[in-house]
Amino acid sequence: MTEELEKRAWKGEPTPDTPDKWKYIMLRELYQLNKVGELPQDTAKQFKDILLDLDNQPRGEQRAMLAYCIANLYHRMGGDKALQADAWVLIEKGLAHG
């Protein structure tokens, strides 16, 4: 993920149409959780490091990170269609990984 996309995720910008948009969504959620105080800075940093190297993590780590971000998206999405669409991107990614 480029530094520009990381900055956009920090700002909470809408999901870009890129091959790794699922990683962007997850990073944006980690940043959001940190901003509202639900995820401490040190934990957010650890999660970010795992996320940015997710393809090289054990399958269990990948699934756990996906599940965590999906749960948080569902928690805050309400009627927000963009967040609902983002949740489905993550769910489809999880289903594709079996």
Q: Are 74 and 87 in contact (CB under 8 A)?
A: yes
As a whole number of angstroms, the distance between CA 61 and CA 63 comes to: 5
Range of 90's domain?
3-11+20-96
- Condensed to tens digits (0 to 9), the pLDDT of residues 13-71 reads 999 998 888 899 999 999 999 999 999 999 999 999 998 898 898 988 888 888 888 88
User: Residue 12 to residues 15, 38, 81: CA-CA distances in angstroms?
Assistant: 9, 16, 15
Task: For residue 5, name the pLDDT band (cuts at 50, 70, 90).
Answer: very high
Kindly give the residue spans of alpha helices, DSSP state H, lying in 1-98.
3-11, 21-35, 41-52, 59-77, 81-96
Split into its structural domains, the chain has a count of 1
**pLDDT band of 76, cuts 50, 70, 90:** confident
Q: Kindly report the length of the chain.
A: 98
